[in-house]
Amino acid sequence: MGQIHSYDDKEVELSDIQPLYTRFMRECPSGALHLHEFRKIFGIQSTSEDEALYMETLFKSFDTNKDDVIDFMEFVAAIHLVLRGNLEDRLKWSFKVYDRDDNGKLDKQEVKRIIRIICQLKKNTLKMTPTDVCDRIFDILDQDKDGQISLTEFMEGAQKDSWIMDLLKLDTNARGWFRENWGKGA
């Protein structure tokens, strides 16, 4: 698909849009990607309630106009973020995923919920309990010790600690998945 695989380029090339649109319409003939299609496309069978909730949270983070579907423009924006978004944009998106109640602050329950799911998805390669991971995140990021992490604390702290960065940027190999599943035959 031409330039869409080049992570150094900042813009999606116009020549990449048509094949992507053709593939999108093949997968979503209605022109709208619904949550159940989103799960199917990503191969997630929602084996647990937490995993289902995580997928719903990711879906909603890409549904920018909050109409419960991802249209083609939202899809392109999501792909652009995943494939070429700079670190700051990806961290802001990650914060949005963690911030379940959308109040602009992360509390321990919100963080622990996502960490528990990450541990399940990564087969707990962290070798720590979700509670221990959450406590460590708050020890490092909650600079004013108010029991909440602001976007500023999240952004600054993640960029200072590589262990935190790996957890917070929600790297689920989306680039590899996209190349494997959408980058060919589009």
- Report pLDDT digits (tens) over 140-155: 999 999 999 999 999 9
**71 plus 100 within the same structural domain:** no
Which of 47, 46, 50, 19 has its CA nearest to residue 35? 46
**131 plus 177 within the same structural domain:** no
In sequence order, what E strands does 31-177 have? 32-33, 70-71, 105-106, 149-150
Residue 25: which CATH number?
Answer: 1.10.238.10
**109 plus 141 within the same structural domain:** yes
Q: Give the structural domain span for 24.
A: 15-85+173-181
Q: What value, to the nearest 5°, has the Cα angle with vertex 76 and ends 74 and 79? A: 110
Confidence of residue 165 (pLDDT cuts 50, 70, 90): confident
| 161 in any annotated domain | yes
| 1 in any annotated domain | no
**64 plus 76 within the same structural domain:** yes
Which residue did the predictor score with more confidence, 107 or 51?
107
- What would the mean pLDDT of 39-55 be, rounded to a whole number? 72
Total count of domains within the chain: 2
| 123 in any annotated domain | yes
**25 plus 56 within the same structural domain:** yes
Mean pLDDT of the chain: 80
- Give the global pTM: 0.74
94-153 pLDDT, tens digit each: 898 889 888 999 999 999 988 888 777 666 577 888 899 999 999 999 999 999 999 999
Q: Looking at residue 1, what is its pLDDT? A: 35
Q: Looking at residue 10, what is its pLDDT? A: 46
**70 plus 100 within the same structural domain:** no
**77 plus 128 within the same structural domain:** no
